[in-house]
A = this chain, B = another copy of it.
Amino acid sequence: MARATVQDVARTAGVSVGTVSRVLNGSSAVSASAKEKVNAAIKELSYRPLASARDLRRDRTMRVLALAKNLDSLVISEVFRGVGDAAADNGYVSLIAATDGDRDREQQLVDMLRNGSVDGLVIFSPTMPDEDVNTVAEQLSVIQVCEIVDAEAAFGVSIDDRQAAYDITKHLIDTGAKKLAMLAHRGARSGRLREEGFRQALAEAGLESDQVLLGEGNFGFHAGRSLAKKLLEGKDLPDAVFCGTDVVAAGCVRELTDAGLRVPNDVAVAGFDDSAQAEMCVPELTTVRQPAYEMGRVAFAELLERMTVEGSHRKGRTFLPHELVIRDSTK
């Protein structure tokens, strides 16, 4: 049995296609008897309006797409949960796709916006160069979350990464740290801002650091371990380490602990994100909480404005407040 069309429904119900469509969309007035007949026919044929035909005619899809390199971070999945809920509240469906850091695949997914497969795009961790992101963002309904390219026209939703890094570094200094190190991801766009905050806090305390170590590729537990190993091998061991993510911090703690050092007594360690790992680590990690779910909701709201209000390409970042979460890995 082939798929039923609006024609079939009309025939079965003994009305015209116009009436069927009116019942489906509740647009203008339809008599109660007609509505009843149509609904009966719809049920009988188990009819569903074909999405492509509807989208073609309406010139919109009520779908948005969220892009990220991968999905294995709790921050990402929380952000996307926020996007999804906000989308649902507004009658949209939000879909997610992973680029795996593949330029071509990312291009293909961005093309889904260009060719009208979706109405809007949420970009988490772009692989393409900054200028391309800006070009796309200026022309299309796009919003960036968390990782936002650094440019005049930058726009999107995130925390104030510079301030957050400043705050947590200050906390480390306040608890007695004199020699600080930082483990950051080379690829991260937030990295430069965080390094600024880190250095600013040091400068205000009359300190400085030559131990900002950058990791490449997969910035996870093992990266944390191997970067910490470099610290251990260095001539002067820091007494506090600020890590780009909680997972890296966990790796760092593990490496230090295995080397016989005590955290936080010998070396304090701070993470970032307040992900599940922060609580699972021993000792539990001091970290910065990002309001990930809320960021997702706000991102969708701003995207919605771009999608529906003509020419509303407002620029500028929207900052959401972060929160310092102090646990046992710093004293």
On A, residues with C-beta under 8 Å from B are: 3, 48-53, 55-56, 61, 63, 65, 70-72, 74, 76-77, 80-81, 84-85, 88, 93-98, 100, 105, 108-109, 111-112, 114-117, 220-221, 247, 250-251, 254, 257, 276-277, 279-282
CB A73 to nearest CB in B, in angstroms, measures 9
Q: Which of these, B108, B109, B112, B250, contacts A280 with CB under 8 Å?
A: B250
In the bound assembly, the distance between CA atoms of A326 and B56 in angstroms comes to: 55
Q: How many copies does the complex hold?
A: 2
Q: Give min CB distance, A71 to chain B, whole Å.
A: 4
> Which residues of chain B have C-beta atoms less than 8 A from A61's C-beta?
52
- A139 to B: closest C-beta gap in Å: 10
The residue that A80 contacts in the complex, of B3, B71, B88, with Cβ under 8 A, is B71
Asked whether, in the complex, the Cβ of B80 is within 8 Å of the Cβ of A98, the reply is yes
Q: A48-B115, A250-B280 are in contact. List 13 more A-B contacts (CB 8 A).
A: A48-B111, A50-B115, A51-B55, A51-B117, A52-B53, A52-B61, A71-B96, A80-B98, A84-B97, A84-B98, A93-B109, A247-B276, A282-B282
Does A65 lie within 8 Å of B95, measured CB to CB? yes
Residues of B within 8 A of A105 (CB): 88
Q: Across the interface, name the chain B residue whose C-beta is closest to A275.
A: B72
Q: How far is the CB of A53 from chain B (nearest CB, A)?
A: 5
User: A116's contact among B52, B65, B277, by CB below 8 Å, is which?
Assistant: B52
10 contacts between A and B (CB under 8 A): A48-B111, A50-B116, A52-B52, A71-B71, A80-B98, A81-B98, A84-B97, A84-B98, A84-B100, A96-B97
Verify B220–A276 contact, CB threshold 8 A: yes
Residues of B within 8 A of A117 (CB): 51-52, 63
Q: Which residues of B contact A53 (CB under 8 A)?
A: 52, 56
Contact A280 B280 (CB under 8 A): yes
Beta-carbon contact of B71 and A93 below 8 Å: no
Give the contacting residue for A56; candidates B52, B70, B115, B251; CB below 8 A: B52
Residues A112 and B84 in contact, CB atoms below 8 Å apart: no
Q: Once the chains are docked, how many angstroms separate the CA of A168 from the CA of B247?
A: 28
